[in-house]
């Protein structure tokens, strides 16, 4: 019997999309592995392969996401002058801690997966292999030079960010690989994709449906965790791009009781962030995402330690979230 190709528009869309993605992946792989690029000096060592593929980073907790967000949180807290985060039973997370100059200490870090890239001067790469890691690896992976800000949000707004992060999971094909999927540090949560996803208006100016997929949100690290509280305020460290409410992260924007985004006289969305007070400074300069990660890797290398943390149950996905 002769095999028949699908002919419906939807079937053809997914077939062609899959073939195109495979073709692009193979082309990128061949280009990357037949090209030589100067990477400079070694800045550290990674103990495991860092998968950079969109099909991984944009759909689940990953070692590279853990590395990036852990680096953000530790380096930013050190730059501010915060104490070490508690990790033991009986220890309490200080949500009102500030550095010597009054800068709030972040307790959570989030990074949109779309900001973690595969592109290099030699084409696409699927991963950063275990072993030596170079400054160029991090600069290619985080190419946008985003400033890091710490923004104070209520728990209910943080929950909106998490709901938005997972609203595309479970969609058939590459549509589930949303760049706004969040990698996280300092919290954990559970996702059930049989529940209603968050829905935004077409112009992304209103949260139409809040979403019900995220549950069991715990704040903290190790054994020093506590449940998310809707009215409690948390300092959240992230890049300036999503802190500005971009990519559908309306939890960072001011809204009315009907979840409509508030705007100024010029029609610009009103954010809850304020660059002058929220930007993280390091040696009198704005702390950038790639610089934070390079600093973190070097600090471990100076102690003869490698970096790289396997998935630790920060994001637990039900089977319904995989397609």
Which CATH number do you get for residue 242?
3.90.780.10
What token pair was written down for 210?
A: 């809040």
User: In terms of pTM, does the model score above 0.85?
Assistant: yes
Q: pLDDT for 124-145, tens place per residue? A: 999 999 999 999 999 999 999 9
CB-count exposure of residue 55 (10 Å: 0-12, 13-18, 19+): middle
Contact call for residues 47 and 308 (beta carbons, < 8 A) = yes
In a domain, 300, yes or no: yes
In a domain, 75, yes or no: yes
In a domain, 242, yes or no: yes
Domains in the chain, number: 1
CA distance 105 to 177: 32
Instruction: Return mean pLDDT, the chain.
Output: 92
pLDDT at residue 113, as a whole number: 98
In a domain, 10, yes or no: no
In a domain, 219, yes or no: yes
In a domain, 89, yes or no: yes
Characterize 75-96 residue by residue with b for buried, 16 or more Cβ atoms within 10 angstroms of its Cβ, and e for exposed.
bbbbbbebeebbeeeeeebebe
Residue 7's pLDDT band, with cuts at 50, 70 and 90, is very low
Q: pLDDT for 162-205, tens place per residue? A: 999 999 999 999 999 999 999 999 999 999 999 999 999 999 99
Q: In this model, does residue 273 exceed pLDDT 60?
A: yes
Residues with Cβ within 8 Å of 189's Cβ and at least 6 positions away in sequence, in order, are 162, 214, 215, 216, 217, 218, 314, 315, 316
pLDDT at residue 67, as a whole number: 98
Strand, helix or coil for residue 251: helix
Question: What stretches of the chain show up as alpha helix (H) in DSSP?
Answer: 9-33, 54-57, 63-80, 135-141, 155-165, 240-243, 275-278, 289-301
In a domain, 157, yes or no: yes
In a domain, 46, yes or no: no
Contact call for residues 92 and 6 (beta carbons, < 8 A) = no
Q: pLDDT for 245-267, tens place per residue? A: 999 999 999 999 999 999 999 99
pLDDT at residue 309, as a whole number: 86
Q: In this model, does residue 75 exceed pLDDT 50?
A: yes
Question: What stretches of 151-214 show up as alpha helix (H) in DSSP?
Answer: 155-165
Query: Range of 308's domain?
Result: 51-321
């Amino acid at each position: 019997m002769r095999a028949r190709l699908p002919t419906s528009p939807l079937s053809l869309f997914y077939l062609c999309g899959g073939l195109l993605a495979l073709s692009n992946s193979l082309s990128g792989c061949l280009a990357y592995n037949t090209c030589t690029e100067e990477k400079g000096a070694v800045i550290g060592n990674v103990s495991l392969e860092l998968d950079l593929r969109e099909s991984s980073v944009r759909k689940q907790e990953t070692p590279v996401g853990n590395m990036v967000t852990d680096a953000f949180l530790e380096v930013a807290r050190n730059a501010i002058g915060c104490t070490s985060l508690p990790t033991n039973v009986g220890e309490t997370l200080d949500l009102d801690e500030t550095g010597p100059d009054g800068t709030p200490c972040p307790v959570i870090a989030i990074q949109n997966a779309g900001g973690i890239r595969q592109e290099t001067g030699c084409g696409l790469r699927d991963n950063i292999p275990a072993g030596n890691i170079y400054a160029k690896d991090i600069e290619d992976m985080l190419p946008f030079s985003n400033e890091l800000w710490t923004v104070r949000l209520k728990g209910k707004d943080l929950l909106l960010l998490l709901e938005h992060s997972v609203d595309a999971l479970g969609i058939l094909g590459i549509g589930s690989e949303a760049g706004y999927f969040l990698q996280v540090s300092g919290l954990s949560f559970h996702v059930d994709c049989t529940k209603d996803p968050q829905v935004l208006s077409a112009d992304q100016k209103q949260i139409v449906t809040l979403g019900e997929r995220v549950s069991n949100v715990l704040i903290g690290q190790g054994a020093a965790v506590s449940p998310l509280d809707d009215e409690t305020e948390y300092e959240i460290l992230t890049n300036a791009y999503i802190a500005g409410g971009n990519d559908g992260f309306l939890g960072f924007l001011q809204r009315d009781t009907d979840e409509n985004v508030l705007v100024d006289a010029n029609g610009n969305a009103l954010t809850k962030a304020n660059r002058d007070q929220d930007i993280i400074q390091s040696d009198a300069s704005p702390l950038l995402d790639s610089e934070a990660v390079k600093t973190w890797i070097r600090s471990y290398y100076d102690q003869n330690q490698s970096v790289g943390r396997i998935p630790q149950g920060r994001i637990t996905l039900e089977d319904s979230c995989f397609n």
